[in-house]
Amino acid sequence: MAFDMEEQFSEECVDSGIHEECGVFGAYDFDGNDIASTVYYGLFALQHRGQESCGLAVSDTKGERGNVKFHKDLGLVSEVLRQDVVRKYEGDIGIGHVRYSTTGASVAENAQPLVLSYVKGTLALAHNGNLVNTEALKWELIQTGAIFHTTTDSEVIAFHIARERVHSATVEEAVHKTVEKIRGGYALVIMSPRKLIGARDPYGLKPLCLGKRDNAYVLASESCALTSVGAEFIRDIEPGEIVTITKNGLKSSKLTEKKKHAHCVFEYIYFARLDSTMDGVKVYDARIRGGKSLAKSYPVEADLVTGVPESGLPAAKGFSEESGIPFGFAFYKNSYIGRTFIKPTQKERESSVHLKLSVLDAVVKGKRIVLVDDSIVRGTTIANLIRMLKEAGALEVHVRISSPPFLHPCYFGTDVPSNDQLIAAQHSTEEICKMIGADSLGYMEIDYLEGMAGGLPICKACFDGKYPMVIPDENNLQNDFEIHKI
């Protein structure tokens, strides 16, 4: 029976691509200089982590207590935080956020930072990640009269911090009590009118690092954001660590130590920017190693190795170095088109592929091509690229993927869809190869992942189903919540 990939993987998989996570940023200038422009440039450097919405919140630590100003909306950093907007936000402490939704709808109300006014003052929060016990925590709040204005788990975190603050001596104590309750992957940047706080989940699933520029401290999801604002990288925030920055300096506390860490491997495969370093591992080097392992596992006779811009290019370079096959650019990328997965419908995404990439005919004509990409989820994008290469005269297209097949959903903030929407969960490698029109197909072998990530302990549950923590039964949680709601 003929298989219509577009029919099966279009309507039901409208939002099933591998989406970016979110990006968080925070800065505190002890000299009292305005920080809004620093937050802007930090978010601009993190734009690759989320293109749906963004925002910033600032406070003047010498001004009226509780006077936190914020601005957020749907759109890119350059669209939402225009120069005339940023100039209005004066203050020496600030946080910011870029978002792609993994929990909650794509609406302006879910943009971050979240800003709450409560009995103890004002709290602003930016969150990257996803919780696995959101419904239980939400029901606990609803029982005490909480009313939610967003559909995100980030609001649940903020509400719990505010509630704990009422019974705590300091906001950092309230944060500590809250992160003892929440389970999942998270990097948090939190601002009170006088303090900047960063927190990272005990497994280290989500990245967060610390930098310093002159007399200012900076927190960011990636080191590239530190570089963009002229800050020197100091260190990564450790898994389970909470850092509090005040006018008196920086202090650190730790949650109960986890024996096992589980850094998200997809930061090194795809999410992180190429010039970032995470937990001591350079992202560029990790992707080169990934490409080399592909060449060892799935050698092929070919004339040219190329990558799908941008994330496939370093792995393609590694494949070339290991195999001895020349590396070259087969695609021209239109830099003024956003990432294709951000489009709301499958047809729009497919159209965007042609708008975004065009084939360099002279490079590929009459050649056997190795095409390297970071992943296959639906299969429609890679199928379009293979078709484009062959229409341009490529004799063969051999696909190599720098990650193993996706077989399981992610619960920690990477928007991997459910099993029935994952092409590799429904079909063998041979079937997928035929469906996408490739001459051969090879995935990264799972045993190579830790070596690719520099020997770090990693979470690879989306490939092998072995999650670093127990995942609650979502159906039972949802049913319980609906019953209580009624």
**Cα-only R_g, the chain:** 23
Any alpha helices (H) in 392-473, and if so which ranges?
A: 423-426, 429-436, 449-452, 461-464
Q: Could you give the CA distance from residue 285 to residue 274 in angstroms, rounded to a whole number? A: 9
Please identify which of the residues 13, 22, 264, 462 carries the catalytic annotation. 22
53-59 and 68-74 beta bridge pairing: antiparallel
Alpha carbon 481 to chain centroid, angstroms: 28
Which among 247, 187, 191, 176 is positioned nearest to 30, based on CA atoms? 247
Return the structure tokens found at 431: 């079937």
Q: What's the Cα-to-Cα distance from 200 to each of 169, 206, 318, 375, 453, rounded to whole Å?
A: 22, 7, 32, 27, 19
Q: Show Cβ contacts of residue 124 under 8 Å, excluding neighbours closer than 6 positions.
A: 57, 59, 68, 70, 95, 113, 114, 115, 116, 190, 191, 192
The verdict on whether 22 is a catalytic residue reads yes
Q: How far is CA 302 from CA 151, 206, 437, in A?
A: 50, 38, 17
Distance of CA 472 to the CA centre of its chain: 22
CA 132/CA 478 separation, integer angstroms: 12
CA distances from 185 to 22, 224, 239, 383, 422 (A): 12, 21, 10, 33, 22
Query: What is the distance between the alpha carbons of residues 188 and 413, in angstroms, rounded to a whole number?
Result: 13
| Other beta carbons within 10 Å of 383 | 22
* Crossing angle of the two packed helices 380-391 and 346-356, in degrees rounded to 10: 40
- Distance between CA atoms of 32 and 241, rounded to whole angstroms? 27
How many whole angstroms separate alpha carbon 114 and alpha carbon 97?
Answer: 10
Give the span between the Cα atoms of 34 and 158, in whole angstroms: 25
CA 402, CA 474: separation in Å to the nearest integer? 30
Backbone angles phi and psi of 142, in degrees to 5: -60, -35
First to last CA, the chain: 46
The H or E element containing residue 27 is strand 23-29
Inter-residue contact 431 to 406 (CB < 8 Å): no
Catalytic residue IDs? 22
